[in-house]
Homo-oligomer: A and B are copies of this chain.
Amino acid sequence: MLRMSTLLLRTLRDDPADAEVASHRLLVRAGYVRRVAAGIYSWLPLGYRTYRNIEKVIRDEMDKAGFQEVHFPSLLPREPYEETNRWTEYGPDLFRLKDRKGNDYLLGPTHEEMFTLMVKGEFSSYKDLPLSIYQIQTKFRDEPRPRSGIIRGREFVMKDSYSFDIDDAGLEASYQRHREAYIQTFNRLGLKFNIVSAMSGAMGGSKSEEFLAPCPTGEDTYVLCESCGYAANVEAMVTKVAAYSGSTPPPLEVFDSPNTPTIDSLVELVNSRYGEQITGADTLKNVLLMADGEAISILVPGDREVDLKRVGANLAGVQDLRLFEDEDFAKFPGLVKGYVGPQDAERLGIKVYADPRIVIGSHWITGANFREKHARFVTHGRDFNVIAFVEAAEVKAGDPCPQCDTPVVIDRAIEIGHIFQLGRKYAQALGLTVLDQNGKSQVVTMGSYGIGVSRAVAAIAEQSYDELGLNWPREIAPAEIHLVAAGKDDSIFSFAEKLASDLEEAGLTVLFDDRRDASAGVKFKDAELIGIPYIVIVGKSLAEGKIEFRVRSTGSKVEFAADSAVAEILNAIN
């Protein structure tokens, strides 16, 4: 039994200065976590009980699915990460250190290499596969901007699983098993979530989905079709376009366009000079980027911005992507800033990619590659060609759903899980092969599956809190019953003490507010802030043989006979 009189807990009336999101504010105020450094938190007793309840649900569900638990160290030698090139690729997000002998180590940000090597060390035959193993472990990432309390920290706990299969069909099956296990897990945690298509991004590999918990302050933006249920990470949203169906455009025509620094001014000039009714959507923006040191141009309709994260996620193999800077322009004197067009790309030494909206046959108003000159009827496939289409334009609410054409909505969420067909990248780099049925060596194909364990505490808080405080689902809460002794009489305290023991005896976990020096008002406020799902009050009405039972989430209150309190409480909550 937890007792408020001895619990290491001081609730705070005021919000912490650095808290932007509700979960952070309330977890600090209710005495669940304390900040140690940027993105680094300690858990107080109530917080750690909550965390452990979540960990238990996740472990149960992983075990039920037949995944085997292992455990790796946090302190890892450089060599395996060198072999996969991640020692370098990870950049400043990786915490690196040296031991007393000067050897290089890192703090594991994720454990692909270690899992791969572990399986390599034990297994060697197709008969050993499929295998799915997991760990629940502390991860370290030196986030540039740790924020939102435990949602994006620099030290946090993840459940990470890996699957190992001999072939793609096996991987697909393992992937589906994890997907099912994740659905079970998040349902049991009481989280509302959407499964959205995601890009595999920097991890290499193919199919990938994210489990996103909708939340207005979430860091992740995703696209949702409320009609057919299509959901995608913004990076993964597929643009639906129709083939060009207009008539063949007139030949390309260059025209003078002084004083047109913006799309709007260009549109105005064209409309007034040619009596047209064009909009920004009829112009073509040439956004110049440096991709791993190579100059590229991305074509998007003039009424859209380029979303660099979308480009990055969709342009295979590119590590470092950034906008052109003045010094880049200096290296390409043919590029006339503000008047770039895709017509002379080859001459200019630029690789051109187009957003899918720039369909073949369509014509555009764009720069003429001369100062103060634009061109119109610039036609894709006739006047310019592109290396490839790439999803590049920002996604907007109202864009058509790629499945059913319904306008999509854009929502915010917290990423709580990610499942991922990793493929053979790590197995290849680290030499994880097994012999197949014919005795031939085959590179193993892997899946990678993650759940943010410590983050889930915040995600559940975000989805369940109200204006009074936290509000936990029963399986997650630090206790099931918050029992308040409200009053001054010894009889109240002795009855409450007995009731607390009886409830624990009946198998419930109880937080007993046995404080003698706190007012009933303070106790009620604390109970609401702490967010345990059922509040039992032993107070003045005990004299009439009554106790009060409240449900934290609904605020409903009923009186029970004190004599049969345990039975009535059990009945009410089960």
Contact = CB atoms under 8 A, between A and B. Distances in A.
A119 B41 CA distance: 15
A72 B36 contact: yes
A76 to B, nearest CB: 7
B42 A140 contact: no
Contacts of A100: 92-93, 142, 144
A95 B107 CA distance: 11
Residue among A75, A140, A517 having the largest count of chain B Cβ atoms under 10 Å: A75
Interface stretch (A63-71, A272-280, A378-386, A391-399): A63-71
A123 B74 contact: no
Interface string A108-126: 0000001000110111000
- Counting every copy of the chain, the complex holds 2
A48 interface: yes
Nearest to A119: B8
A190 B461 CA distance: 41
A138 interface: yes
Interface string A65-91: 010111111111100000000000000
B43 A70 contact: yes
B133 A36 contact: no
B118 A155 contact: no
Residue among A73, A93, A100, A155 having the largest count of chain B Cβ atoms under 10 Å: A73
Given A34-B121, A99-B95, A118-B42, A6 B73 contact: no
Contact of A42 (B43, B68, B73): B73
Contacts of A49: 69
A406 to B, nearest CB: 43
A9 interface: yes
Nearest to A59: B52
Interface string A35-64: 011001111110011010000000000000
A308 interface: no
A117 B154 CA distance: 20
B118 A34 contact: yes
Interface string A221-253: 000000000000000000000000000000000
Contacts of A7: 68
Nearest to A125: B517
A561 interface: no
